[in-house]
């Protein structure tokens, strides 16, 4: 069973600026451990000859020409914004 | 932003000297990190316009606002321009480059990650040769990679100060615009070389037409890492980071101050603390990580929404073929004719191509350099608008035409269809038979000053020369006037 400590959960939560209750810390500790456990299955294989994969698709150079297209109208830009100040998004002080 | 994957081993630093090192027993170690905004038409991963001046949030779309489900598509031109810069810096261009997510939570980035590059950047292991009076100093380039810029945050508060802000206002127009990050090896050992490197890099970027690279608009920004170590040692001690400096001269002064501060601490038996010194709060970028957070907290991983970039030999060769002679090489070449100082001023001022044309058109090299670096710059004329043949005539005739006529002509030299000929017809008055009566009249009119001059107050010579120049409408030859005033006094 992969282990993840309570401090590690709190650390990751702090990086995301999320406040967790003690119950939530315990819950995520278990869930994150399960995820790590599942992913660590891969290490059961001998992959010493396999180069790291950055992307599963065997293609490269998917790009677009440098030609402008229309932007969103402001009412759509702000449609889901919780707070707005003129044409700015407004957030708690950062 | 520092990715922490660059080599931290100091490489050989060609010809570094220790001027400015203060105590001779300490060697400063300086590394630079430079961000340059590319002047593409569109952003890095969406086709919103990339440009200043739009109303807040008017240049945004689902991709750069991070609406759910939106997918990034890289800007081909931004990739090509980064490769071009890499080639100009003699970097190895990656056969395969990968974009990574750099995770952090801050209101300047709605995705909560910046798309950047990590261990497979487009360009790595290059160098820029910086000409100095004592030869060339080679500064290693660890890497040059492509990433996206963040939004602009405005911190508002009743007091107008950043601390104690009551809210943050966000404009996403800049969010997602292409940014090239260039990281040097810690190969720089004095402030002057750091300044020269930055000037030369800026001129290179401007000539490649990748960026306006204007410090005052933030289209070029740089951070400086400074540490000192006992001379002769190759250890790397704790460094401090100098951020948000908005001029090269200011940076040089800041570096010198910081070097002196660290030496003082060590000599007093103290320890230098790792810290970041902010110089210009007005240009402050929001630090995404608090000081206690480590680079590993960025949790880099390959961006799953983007496939790798594989430039290929054809593309790289095509881009290489577009490169012209770079500014560093031109400084070295011109310094064979002029002093190093003049060559440096001409090239980093974007004036050397015009200088070459003037010399080709018959102007004296030194005289042409003087006029360009002084009167021409002061007149604020775009070198690209000038007919070199006409300006060369003016430069060659400078001593023979009145100063006023020269200045007037120079101010108009950028105008379409400008001809130097009418100005060349105005001859400077050097005839003593014509000048002597004027000079005598002025001396007679100012007996007190004449008396003071004769009793040793030589500074008054300028008073008389100035009166004569004024009297003759600037048409007198100042050298002759000088001579005659002395004689007649």
Residue positions counted in chain A: 94
Please tell me if residue B112 touches chain A, with a CB cutoff of 8 Å: yes
3-state SS of B268-297? CCCCCCCCEEECCHHHCCCCCCCCCCCHHH
Phi–psi pair at B78, nearest 5 degrees:
-60, -40
How many Cβ atoms are within 10 Å of B366's Cβ, its own excluded? 13
CATH of the domain at A21: 1.10.20
Domain extent at residue A31: 6-44
Helix (H, G, I), strand (E, B), or coil: what is residue B139?
A: strand
Contact status, residue B56 vs residue A87, Cβ threshold 8 Å: yes
Per-residue pLDDT of chain B (489 residues; tens, 9 = 90+): 333 333 333 333 433 344 444 446 999 999 999 999 999 999 999 999 998 778 999 999 999 999 999 999 999 999 999 999 999 999 999 999 999 999 999 999 999 999 999 999 999 999 999 998 888 999 999 999 999 999 999 888 755 555 567 899 999 999 999 999 999 999 999 999 999 999 999 999 999 999 999 998 889 999 999 999 999 999 999 999 998 788 899 899 999 999 999 999 999 999 998 888 877 655 544 444 455 556 788 999 999 999 999 999 999 999 999 999 999 999 999 999 999 999 999 998 899 999 999 999 999 999 999 999 988 988 888 898 999 999 999 999 888 888 878 888 888 888 888 988 888 887 777 778 888 888 888 999 999 989 899 888 888 888 988 888 888 877 787 788 888 888 888
CB contact under 8 A, A66 and B40: yes
State the total domains in chain A. 1
For B287, the closest chain A residue by CA position comes to A94
Distance CA B24, CA B356 (A): 41
Query: Which residues in chain B are closer than 8 Å to A61, comparing Cβ atoms?
Result: 307, 309-310
Dihedral over alpha carbons A66, B322, B217, B125 (to 10 degrees): 100
Domains of chain B with bracketed CATH: 26-320 (no CATH), 351-415 (no CATH), 432-488 (1.10.10.410)
CB contact under 8 A, A89 and B169: yes
Pick B170's closest partner by Cβ from A62, A67, A89: A89
As for the ipTM of the complex, it is: 0.91
- Domain-embedded: residue A78: no
- Domain-embedded: residue A26: yes
CB contact under 8 A, B286 and A93: no
For A62, the closest chain B residue by CA position comes to B307
CB contact under 8 A, A17 and B105: yes
Contact status, residue B195 vs residue B248, Cβ threshold 8 Å: yes
Closest CA relative to residue B311, chosen from A61, A54, A53, A65? A61
Produce one character per residue of A44-63: b if its CB has 16 or more CB atoms within 10 Å, e if not: eeeeeeeeeebbeeeebeeb
Please tell me if residue B162 touches chain A, with a CB cutoff of 8 Å: no
**Residues of chain A in Cβ contact (below 8 Å) with chain B:** 15-17, 54-55, 57, 59-69, 71-72, 74, 77-78, 85-94
Helix (H, G, I), strand (E, B), or coil: what is residue B171?
A: strand
């Amino acid at each position: 069973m992969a282990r993840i400590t309570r401090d590690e959960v709190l650390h990751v939560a702090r990086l995301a600026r999320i406040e967790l209750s003690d119950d939530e810390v315990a819950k995520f500790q278990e869930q994150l451990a399960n995820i790590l456990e599942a992913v660590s299955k891969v290490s059961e294989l001998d992959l010493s000859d396999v180069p790291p994969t950055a992307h599963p698709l065997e293609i490269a150079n998917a790009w677009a020409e440098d030609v402008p297209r229309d932007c969103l109208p402001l009412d759509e830009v702000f449609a889901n914004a919780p707070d707005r100040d003129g044409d700015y998004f407004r957030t708690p002080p950062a | 932003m520092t990715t922490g994957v660059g080599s931290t081993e100091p490489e050989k630093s060609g010809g570094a000297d220790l001027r400015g090192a203060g105590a001779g027993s300490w060697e400063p170690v300086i590394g630079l990190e430079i961000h340059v905004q590319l002047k593409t038409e569109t952003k890095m991963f969406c086709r919103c316009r990339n440009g200043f001046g739009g109303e807040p949030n008017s240049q945004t779309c689902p991709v750069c606002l991070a609406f759910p489900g939106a997918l990034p598509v890289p800007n081909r031109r931004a990739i090509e321009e980064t490769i071009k810069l890499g080639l100009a810096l003699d970097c190895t261009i990656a056969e395969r480059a990968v974009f990574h997510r750099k995770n952090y939570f801050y209101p300047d980035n709605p995705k909560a990650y910046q798309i950047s590059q990590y261990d497979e950047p487009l360009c790595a292991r290059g160098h820029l040769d910086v000409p100095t009076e004592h030869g060339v100093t080679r500064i290693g380039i660890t890497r040059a990679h492509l990433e996206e810029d963040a939004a602009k945050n405005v911190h508002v508060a009743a007091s107008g100060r950043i601390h104690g802000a009551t809210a943050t206002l966000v404009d996403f127009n800049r969010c997602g615009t292409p940014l090239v990050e260039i990281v040097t090896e810690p190969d720089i050992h004095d402030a002057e070389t750091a300044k020269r490197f930055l000037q030369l890099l800026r001129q290179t970027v401007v000539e490649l037409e990748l960026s306006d690279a204007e410090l005052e608009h933030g289209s070029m920004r740089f951070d400086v890492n400074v540490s000192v170590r006992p001379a002769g040692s190759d250890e790397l001690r704790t460094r401090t980071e100098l951020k948000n400096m908005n001029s090269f001269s200011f940076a040089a002064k800041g570096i010198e101050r910081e070097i002196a501060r660290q030496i003082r601490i060590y000599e007093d038996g103290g320890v230098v603390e790792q810290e970041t010194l902010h110089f210009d709060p007005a240009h402050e970028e929001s630090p995404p990580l608090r000081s206690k957070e480590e680079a590993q907290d960025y949790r880099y991983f390959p961006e799953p929404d983007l496939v790798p970039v594989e430039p290929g030999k054809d593309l790289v060769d095509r881009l290489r073929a577009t490169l012209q002679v770079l500014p560093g090489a031109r400084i070295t070449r011109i310094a064979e004719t002029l002093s190093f100082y003049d060559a440096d001023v001409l090239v980093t001022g974007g004036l050397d191509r015009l200088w070459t044309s003037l010399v080709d058109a018959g102007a004296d090299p030194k005289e042409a350099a003087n006029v360009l670096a002084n009167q021409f710059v002061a007149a604020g004329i775009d070198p690209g608008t000038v007919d070199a043949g006409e300006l060369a005539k003016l430069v060659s005739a400078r001593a023979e035409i009145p100063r006023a006529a020269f200045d007037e002509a120079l101010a108009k030299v950028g105008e379409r269809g400008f001809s130097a000929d009418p100005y060349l017809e105005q001859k400077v008055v050097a005839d003593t038979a014509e000048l002597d009566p004027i000079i005598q009249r002025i001396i007679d009119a100012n007996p007190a000053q004449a008396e003071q001059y004769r009793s040793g107050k030589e500074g008054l010579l300028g008073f008389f020369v100035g009166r004569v120049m004024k009297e003759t409408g600037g048409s007198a030859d100042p050298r002759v006037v000088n001579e005659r005033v002395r004689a007649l006094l």
